[in-house]
Structure 1
Amino acid sequence: MKNFFTFSVIKRVVTYSKAHKIITGVVVLIMVGGGYWGYKASSSSGASLSYVLGVVEKTTIVASVSASGQVSTVNQIDIKPKASGEVTWVGVKAGDTVWAGQALAYIDSTEAKQNIADAEASLASAKLQYQKDSAQAPMDYDKSLEALEDAKKNLTTTYNDTYNTVSNAYLDLPSAVTGMQNILYSSSLGGQSSNQWNIDAFRDMANQYSDNGSTSAIGTFIDVVERDYKTARTKYDQAILDFKNLTRYSATSDFEELLTISVDTTTAIAQALQSELNILDAVVDELTIRNVTVNPSITSMRTSARTYLSTVNSNLSALLNQQKTLDSTKKTIRDNERSIEIYKIGNESGSNPISLQSSAQSIANQERNLQELKDNLSYYTITAPFAGTIASVSLKRFDTVSTGGSVATLITTQKIAQLSLNEVDATKINLGDKVTLTFDAIEDLTLTGEVIEVDAVGTVSQGVVSYKVKIGFDGQDERIKSGMTVNSSIQTDVRQDVLAIPSSAVKTQNGITYVQVFNPALAETGGTTGVVSVIPPTQVEVKTGISDDTKVEILEGLNEGDQIVTRTISGTATAVKTSSSGAGGAMGGAAIRF
């Protein structure tokens, strides 16, 4: 039955195809085309990268450590100084009642004040230099542009001088080459009746004056002089053709090429003339030793060879000097172009060069350091963290104290927050660090405070080390109860007006921290969906500073306004799938039915 059904179906298809040839042809074309189109779509699918962009901006970064703990009531607290030095004044004794913030003792701050004065002087000097450099930078940039323009004009002049130098050389070289040829391939040594070339006459002399089978001095130069002449002649014949094809309007590259060829050719001619002079000197020496009269033609040839050689050497020096001048002028242009590129790093106008940008960043760092010194000056005054009664005082005038050592004990009934930090976070905490506090049980309450105590010795539990930290509240609220859960954010560092980028933009590979940068910047930013770029971003090594939950401080490597990659999105194009319903639809009411 199955075979019969299959045969019946095939038979009906064939019958229908014969009766509806046009429709059948269209269906076949659509199916073939659809298959090809689907194949192309499938084969063209592939992965693409989109870049989510951002810019380097100046902002404030607050580095912090978050921790949770409980509220507790402290009965007494050890007062510890935040600075080291010699005690200059003690203003309390045991039993005294004090208020929060009252000065208890002073530590000598002479050195700290001197550091502030030095930092202020250094900052003032840096600002004056920056103002001077800022005024000078546009002028230096303009000078670089002028220098580049002058160098380009000089290059034009140098090319003209190159043509003149080469031209002068080819005024002298033809006669030198002709004279060089006559010394070897004329018949001046054999008289008017002889057709023997001079080189052959030299060879006969070499054979004649070879004693006991040894080669004479003349013979040692025969092969050399012939080789040098042929080399020089071949180079000259090609070079003179190249020169004749050159005009003052030829391409500068042709000038440079012919200058190089001319130096090579002139060098070869000078060498050939020197070899001819060597063999002539050898002939004269040999004849003189043997008391044979020197042919006047030989003397004449020696004089001519010296004259030609002197002229050729002068031309060679001129060509070499011109080559150096040309190279030097081109190098000047390259140096000026590089100088201009450096001026324009991070600013298209060139008025704010990278050196000036670096100076501005250095000034910002000095300002931050100065403010830190001023803030730390208050550490030289030991104050009471809370109101209470002094239970004991363990210091006196002229004592030397150090940070972390207890100098007094205060009895109080103030509430504090007691936290537990791991060993990594504990190293970031210092006495006096500002803290923001919230309470799970009191949703609308936010308090500020500061770190008043950090355990010097950690507690080990199940192999984990932790340190207790106590936070004093700047204010009290009756709703706060002992045992309540408190959430704290301890500010470990604050940097204002610093360069920063999103944390996601910073990458590390093989110990190198870097950021991907588009330079020049892309015109389209693409928003949160990213933008596709044919040219990939470049990796720029950076030095980072502090960070918060979203941003990282940039100390070196980037400038304000630089376009960076904050995130890379990898997408895959989906191939379009074809459907058989299209073919059936094309047949409409004439669809085959079984």
Structure 2
Amino acid sequence: MEKIKNILKRPLYVILIIVVILIGWGAYSYFAGKNVPTYGLTTVTRGNISQEVSVTGRVKPAQNVDLAFEKSGKVARINAAVGDKVAAGQILAVLANNDLAAQVLQAKASLAVQQANLNALKDGTRPEEIQIARTNVTTAQKSLSDAQSNLANVKNKADVDLNNLYGGVKDTLNDAYVKADDAVNKQIDDLFTNDTSNNPKLTFYTGGQTGSNAEWKRQAAGAELTQLNQEINNLPTDKSGLDSALTKGESRLKVISDFLNALSAAINESTGLTSATQLAYKGYVNTGRTNVTTALTNINTKIQAISAQKAANQSNVSTAETSVNSADNSLKAYQDQLSLKQAGSTPEQINAQAAQVMAAQANVADTQAQFDKTIIYSPINGIITKQDAKVGEIAAQNTLIISVMSLAQFEIEANVPEADIAKVKLNDAAKVTLDTYGSSVIFEAKVIKIDLAETMVEGVATYKTTFQFSQKEERIKSGLTANIDIQTAKRGDVLIIPQRAVAQKDNDRFVMLDKGNNQIEERKVITGLKGVDGNIEIIEGLNEGDRIVSYGQ
């Protein structure tokens, strides 16, 4: 402190200090005055805006593109041979895909249906639709009534047809009894004595057991015949009883038929009979057997006819009942539809249908993706250098089929930072300048490939992006440094303002809106594309013609 006091006592030092202070103040005033921000009012207008991503890359020779099918299948078409020039997007090879094409059409049709249903729900039910629904209900009621009437008719006819068959049971059994009685008591009467007793005897002799066998079977046949007669005389009237009577009648005739067969065997082994008598006896037995066989056939035919009629009746009735149930279900469905149309659509129904539309859209995308996997497109303009596929052969998945070499002499590889890669997509146009020729010489190019895997450059994730020159240029040489401006998005007739007019606070963007009468309002905005011309798109928050504060130097 003492030193400072000593210095201030000397006039020369005081003068120097004052000069330094004045010089410092003047310099501050001069330079600070240059940085004083200025502002003015800018009008919100409509215009076009273009967003670009700028990167630096290096020219390299063009490479072959190796192509393969993404799924296995039979090669259906080859559209290019080695040496052929092809254009970007041109179809080079196709697998058999008729089934997938049909699935795509079906998926699109389903989507159209679901979208139409959603539109209908949103639009609400028209009076004409309600009237149609009422008409459907009326028609369904008539169909149900007709089906019920038809069921009653079918059941009535089934009963009549079955009753007619059962009505002839007694006649069939009577005929069987007459034929059996004729065979047992008349045709072979001369062959037995004591016919109706419990001990009938043959009137001739046999050399073995056939005679005894015929005699006791004669007694059994007589008993069966008697039982048959009694059953006919006491024939029941119910269908179950008639079925039982037919079955018993058939069984009794089989016993009688067995007896006649045994008697025929006894005649064949008879002794002491003349040839004429033996022949006559055989004739009697054969006549009896023929009659009994006929009776058996008639009973069996009646049983089968009844069984067939029952089956037919059951089928016809079941069909008619099914028609009634179907008509009833249709009526209920139409009634429900009418109720729904009269009630109108609920938000839940609209949301559910919207979900159906989304599901149908996903199905279209999936089937289209599967279809696209059966086609190889050329990704670039080039020339075919390899083609190993043949029509009709099976191509394996991801097996090299075709190679295409770019017609362009050179390409550019550049690393796009992760912050910008989401903006870049295949076929984006780009303007390229080469350091060798300066910024006045501009070449056209487009994005042809974006690596999926990242490349780390100085600790920053980047993605190698390949560009193809649109035209062949003799001036382009390998290794040249390329400055690339990628046009990633472009919009027309949108609201635009200068980027410098937009400020950011708490993750929100806002502008200062001139309300007139020297009033300024802070207005929150939603922005879109940032243009290369210094403008920015306004999506929400301002209207055309609004005046805002625009800051500048």
TM-score, structure 1 normalization: 0.35
Over alpha carbons, which structure has the higher Rg?
2
TM-score by length of 2: 0.37
